[in-house]
Structure 1
Amino acid sequence: MAGRLRSEASAYLRQHAGNPVDWWPFGDQAFEQARLRDVPVFVSVGYAACHWCHVMAGESFEDQATAEYLNEHFIPVKVDREERPDVDSIYMSATQLMTGQGGWPMSVFALPDGRAFYAGTYFPPRPQPGQPSFRQVLQAVHEAWEQRREAVETTAASVAQALAQAGEANRGLLGDLSVEPDGGQPLPPGGPAAEWGPVQVPSGEAGGTDHRAVLEEAVEVLSGQEDTVFGGFGGAPKFPPSAVLHFLLRHAGASRSDSAQRAAGLSARTLLAMAGSALYDQLEGGFARYTVDRRWSVPHFEKMLYDNVQLLRVYAQWAVQSPAGAERDLGCSVAAGTAGWLVERLQLSHGGIASSLDADTVVDGVHHEGATYLWSPAELRRVLGADDGDWVVSVMCVGERGNVTANRSTLHPGRPLDPDERLRWEGLRPALLAVRQQRAQPARDEKVVAGWNGLAVAGLAEAGELLGRPDLTAAAAAAADYLLSVHLDDSGRLARVSHDGAAQHFEGLLEDYAGCAEGLFSLYAATGEGRWYRAAEGLVLRAEAVFLRDGTLRDQAVPAAQVSAAAGAVPPADPLESATPSGTSLFAGVLATYAAYSGSVRHRELAGRLLGYLNRIAARAPRAAGWGLAAAQALAAGPVELAVTGQSAAATALIAAARASGSPGIVVARHTADPRREETAPLLADKPVPADGALAYVCRGMVCRRPVATAAALLEELGAAGN
């Protein structure tokens, strides 16, 4: 029965191991059972932190009668969307095609070959106006399967054909990425070879494209989409625009143009709004997934690793780009709070970082959304006393009538606190946090996802450097060590997911390889340790071998047969972004970084070619291309290459000055006087280590300007280089 799920890496799957539903994990065995029994497959997709997934589980999957009907007439398959984004993506596309909307839990009915023919999201246990019950859906699907099989198969064929057309359209955004015939072969033994698989880039295209006009147009479109009342973009529900903020900060640091000033204002207003909102946990740090309202006051309480690592990076960079004062102080505070929460609550003892905290808190066996985080006025007065309690009630928007439950609310000021308010709040916060930590806590999903951990390594490494926090750099190194020792095998193959120190069999997607390379390059920049550079280089080159074939980029090395059938046999390659950067945009970014370190013109040209889709999408939907725009902004600047040699303290001071300049996507290599450090990146070649102090070389395309020894001179050189 559902005991099949007990040993799965996914906490979400293990949550369902005790259901009376006879769940199978996604795979060939489940679909073969459907073929042998001649029944459809019911694919239920969700994730551990999902509130409505818990609701449907309690109402339907734990109901004995419903489970018996489901077991008799279907093969039930449970999928963690975070573990298998390939499965989630194609069935979400099918769901949106058939219903016009999507979400989780997702409920899909498929043929034994994997093609979808009916889909929806949450179904209630009893009929509601305009919505059938889950039992009614099951009965209707079973009846159609038994009595109208030809129509079912026709629908499945039509859906697969439509998804194939959509897949071809996505591939059309990327265009042709032709490589030589042997470009798809495995890397030669003994390490990367410069001549391996050269990319044929037509002259005047790709790497030679000037993206500046596209970048400025994206800023203009984003300006028109801003919520000028409450900050951020769009209405309810309101999500943190993490990748877009990454781009806006890079654009703001690129020049002093009107467009750069507009980007600086856009990013600052959004960052200020989020910092004072209920999206940000004012007691412990860390961000919720989104708010259900436009005012940022009622969060959907799950806390996801992928949101927090991106926002950690953004707030740290905003802090150093801001002049001394309130904005810099706030940026440092939010970055430090988010990093502290991430290390304290998500980093596991082996160094890997868990995926999420649940939206729900289980109290007396019952799921309550956000229960850990809510306060009533009476509770605040009881903990803090009447005077301080009343002050918090007033400043943190806690009314006698709650904004989440009848009498309980989130804590959030809804605006930046003034210095006196912040001082008083920081004095009261520890007492409230101590009380909150005694409450029941949300569950943690302890599966480790490679790509998200790679982004976490990048965020922690950069925050450690920018905030002067070596403990954060050490946390980044621990996570990187875990990835290399557990997720990466001797052949260079990267596993997407691990649990309890053991990697699972499913190979990482393009986003995993590129995300890990992004983190390792950032850690190399922060530490100068050559092992991180070598590991990042290996991931970039293997990703090129595995995912770039026959002139096209693929998100997945070898799609599962059922995913391929559902997609109409078109290999998935979607450059557009949602909550996380797409594999395409991440890969373009690390290719640009690798080219800056190595001097590889071929890889720089490939990065530019991959970003060609921005010309077709950035002006229409810039919020679906934030990371790609950020990568293009770095390419437009060079990227600027900074090689620093010399004494550690002096080198660190020069690098800090360069980081604060806001130079977009600046690539840093350092070689200190420590004899144990080795010159790894070619960018450092032939750059001597001075006996005293440090020297900084500003380069573009491996062509370097004269070395300088002071921060002031370095800033002049960065300005001369176009930044």
Structure 2
Amino acid sequence: MANRLKDATSPYLRQHADNPVHWQEWDEAAFAEARDRNVPILLSVGYAACHWCHVMAHESFEDEDVAALLNDRFVSIKVDREERPDVDVVYMAATTATTGSGGWPMTCFLTPEGEPFFCGTYFPRQQFVRLLAAIDDAWRAREAEVRASGTHIATALAQASSAPETAHIGEEVLATAVARLATSFDDANGGFGGAPKFPPSMVLEFLLRHHARTGAAMALDMAARTLEAMARGGIYDQLGGGFARYSVDASWVVPHFEKMLYDNALLLRVYLHWWKATGSAIALRVVEQTAEFLLRDLRTGEGGFAASLDADTEGREGLTYVWTPDQLAEALGEEDGRAVAAVLGVTPEGTFEHGTSTLQLPQDPADAEWFSGIRSRLLRDRGHRPQPPRDDKVVTSWNGLAIAALAEAGATLDRPDWVRAARQGADLVLGTHLLDGRLRRSSLAGRVSTAEAVADDYGNLAEGLLALHQATGDARYLRSSGELLDQALERFGDDDGGFHDTASDAEQLYLRPRSGSDNAEPSGQSALAGALVTFGALTGSASHLEAGRRAVDAAGALAARDPRFAGWSLAVAEALAAGPLEVAVVGADEVAAEMLSVVRASTSPGLVLAAGGPDSPDVPLLEGRPLVRGCSAAYVCRGFVCDAPVTEVEDLRRLLGRD
């Protein structure tokens, strides 16, 4: 069977459509061919922005001799980990269990029934050729032994994937988590641990929420120092806004240049909350520039948000983004070029490869207006360079994160264009990805993938819809979020209150994955926990709120042991510890508008907001709540226990603890 990838809904798979390898998509036809021919399966998993995936493709998958060996002795399946996270997670479990580490490209050899018997990551061409020959020899000479090895690995991993230990995340666990984080905090550079260093967005969200609720100075200090260090480092695009996926060094100087939607959506929201807590000018600048990056560089023609920008441009990592002193002088003239080189840390020796430098901003220049003009000129000049490819795939989960960030930031900062973009993204996903009441994982140019949505798709999209409801007052988004959460409870839930990554009626792999660990993005379990808590607070649904509590506690043992991998669960636990705090603003005059501004400026981690006309039956927080003596009013409740309504803005500030 020839290469089948040209019609895929994944840009990553389409990158391999012209390979001489007879690539298959992950489907029954591929497995049927392997069974019919009785040959092993090569499973290659990667994603469009992955640098080493490109390297292995150029070295091996574009090579005619390698392709001939693969086509003759194997069935080759190519998977986009972003489109099929369920496939990725179960075979990554095998890779890490058998090799001690993981990463992409992931290279696994499977029996025709899908059981993994040998796993690895990137292999240079010669090593890969030797490996193919060895696998082929083993299969031909010792097929029964190889099959038994695959069965043993699959069985052991399935047994090990039992439900984790639950524990209540209460005051003691929350305080201990801050103390544990302090032990791995990088006092010199911010962040946690050493290189490579990833933006710890969900841990920072937890620290900001903990400070907002308790006033703990250490929590705010770790968050603020990390956020400022990242914003001033090379991991942040000082010209175009937005963050790269991670820094290869501990000082945030040299990024791995791919830009992911999920990172930037999460970080946009964290920087907004830092600004609300402190009024930091750099926080506000990052919020504005990152929002503009999302709208300028990741917005698709259909109104959604693309998955990523590649790390490579024309085969060279970072080509679009790095500068030399001579290039600055050429773009700006000698005088401004020399001045801005000093401001942005561009040196003759360079901080990256071949004498080039990433751009850093150790200190704000004294002349802000001059630097703003310089930044605009350099961004225009950079626009004439070759640009990194974009993965235009619209991922449900990540669009949910972007919708939440833009809706909240737009409402807080009076940017209706951001809220409008969030609304358009939500309408696209609901209109395209929701088929017969069931979510799909992704789409490309309006064509929806056949891949079923996983737990984080349901949780993060519901989170985005709830933020959009609070920004706009549109009850449609509240209803849609409730429908998604009810489906998730029915199809993903487990008896202990946690959630599986895949639905009970989804395709059955060799194990049903479940993880409460937050890594680059919230786990499905913690994403659903957060959305359930918010929905419960907005609607008064005790059952949803309790489901959120149980999902948080399902990650309790992990949170107590290693809070770096439970950031979102801890953040949701802070919302529960804070109340939640329910606020309804009734009215449409200037007083109501000022009240809304006060509420949106609150740093309470558990605050939810409803605003609109009196006694609106389709918005639960407004139902039965009239104007007070004909005046706009605010109703403030904590854990569904309400204070008397207030009609004065200062009284509202007092109730919210903002004296």
TM range (shorter): over 0.9
Equivalent residue for 1:191?
Answer: none
Identify the residue that residue 434 of structure 1 maps to in structure 2: 380
Distance 1:510 1:614 in 2: 15
Shift of 1:707: 1.3
Structure-1 residue corresponding to 2:499: 553
What letter is aligned with 1:417? Answer: D
**C-alpha distance after superposition, 1:234-277 (max 9, x if no partner):** 11001000111111111111132xxx221111110011001101
Are 1:96 and 2:96 counterparts? yes
SS at match of 2:42: strand
Deviation at 1:703, TM superposition (A): 2.5
- CA–CA distance in 2 between the matches of 1:649 and 1:454? 31
Gaps of 5+ in 1: 127-132, 175-205
Q: How does 1:601-616 map to 2 (within 5 A)?
A: 601-616=542-557
Change (3 A) 1:558 1:139: farther
Distance in 2, Cα, partners of 1:631 & 1:2: 48
Q: Distance in 1 between matches of 2:554 and 2:438?
A: 28
Aligned to 1:399: 347
Distance 2:115 2:432 in 1: 34
2:214 counterpart residue number: 255
The Cα offsets for residues 146-165 of structure 1, whole Å up to 9 and x where unpaired, read as 11223212321221123123
Q: Which residue does 2:51 correspond to in 1?
A: 51
By how many angstroms is 1:397 displaced?
1.3
Q: For residue 185 of structure 1, what is the aligned residue in structure 2?
A: none
Does the CA contact (< 8 Å) of 1:648 and 1:672 recur in 2? Answer: no
Question: Match for 1:241 among 179, 184, 200?
Answer: 200
CA distance in structure 1 between the partners assigned to 2:480 and 2:627 by the alignment? 24
The answer to whether the 8 Å contact 1:222/1:622 transfers is yes
Paired amino acid for 1:317: H
Counterparts of 2:531 and 2:524, CA distance in 1: 11
- Say if 1:443 and 1:692 are closer, same or farther in 2 by CA, change over 3 A: farther
Percent of aligned pairs with the same amino acid = 47
Q: CA deviation at 1:34?
A: 0.6
- Residue of 448, 471, 475 corresponding to 1:503: 448
The Cα offsets for residues 671-692 of structure 1, whole Å up to 9 and x where unpaired, read as: 147xxx9542322111114686
Q: 2: distance between equivalents of 1:342 and 1:71?
A: 41
In structure 2, what is the equivalent of residue 34 of structure 1? 34
Task: Output the amino acid matched with 1:296.
Answer: W
* Separation (CA, whole Å) in 2 of partners of 1:503 and 1:236: 38
Distance 1:538 1:522 in 2: 16
Where does residue 513 of structure 1 map in the other structure?
A: 458
Q: Does residue 180 of structure 2 align to residue 232 of structure 1?
A: no
User: Out of 647, 654, 657, which is 1:716 matched to?
Assistant: 654
State the shift of 1:352 in Å. 1.1
Count of matched residue pairs:
658
Give the match's secondary structure for 2:175: helix
Tell me the residue number matched to 1:201. Answer: none
* Counterparts of 1:442 and 1:505, CA distance in 2: 27
Q: How far, CA to CA, are the matches of 1:588 and 1:159 in structure 2? A: 31
* Greater Cα offset, 539-548 or 648-657: 648-657
Does residue 237 of structure 2 align to residue 290 of structure 1?
no
User: Considering only aligned residues, what root-mean-square deviation do their CA atoms show, in Å?
Assistant: 1.8
What is the CA–CA distance in structure 2 between the aligned matches of 1:649 and 1:42, rounded to whole Å? 64
Q: 2:288 maps to what in 1?
A: 336
Contact 1:352 1:448 in 2 (8 A): yes
Other-structure match for 2:645: 707
1:451–1:513 CA contact under 8 A, matched in 2: yes
Quote the Cα distance in structure 1 between the aligned partners of 2:616 and 2:30.
51
How do 1:98-497 residues align onto structure 2 when only pairs under 5 Å count? 98-126=98-126, 133-168=127-162, 171-174=163-166, 211-256=170-215, 260-323=216-279, 327=280, 329-362=281-314, 367-413=315-361, 415-417=362-364, 420=366, 422-489=368-435, 491-497=436-442
Distance in 1 between residues matched to 2:18 and 2:169, nearest whole Å: 56
Query: Are residue 592 (structure 1) and residue 533 (structure 2) matched?
Result: yes
Q: Which has the higher contact order (CA 8 A, sep 6+)?
A: 1
Alpha-carbon distance change, 274 to 32 in structure 1, aligned in 2, over 3 angstroms: same
**Equivalent residues of 2:442, 2:448 under 8 A apart:** yes
Q: Which residue of 645, 650, 653 maps to 2:594?
A: 653
Q: Which amino acid aligns with 1:659?
A: R
* Secondary structure in 2 matching 1:572: coil
CA distance in 2, matches of 1:618, 1:543: 23
Supply the AA of the counterpart residue of 2:140: E
Structure 1 CA distance for aligned equivalents of residues 425 and 509 of structure 2: 33
What residue ranges of structure 2 are gaps of 5+ in the alignment? none
The alpha-carbon distance between structure 1 residues 67 and 173, as it changes in their structure 2 partners (threshold 3 A), is same
**Deviation digits for residues 406-445 of structure 1 (CA, Å, limit 9, x no counterpart):** 12111112x3425x15443212111111110011101111
Aligned counterpart for 1:574 among listed residues 499, 515, 520? 515
Amino acid at match of 2:57: A
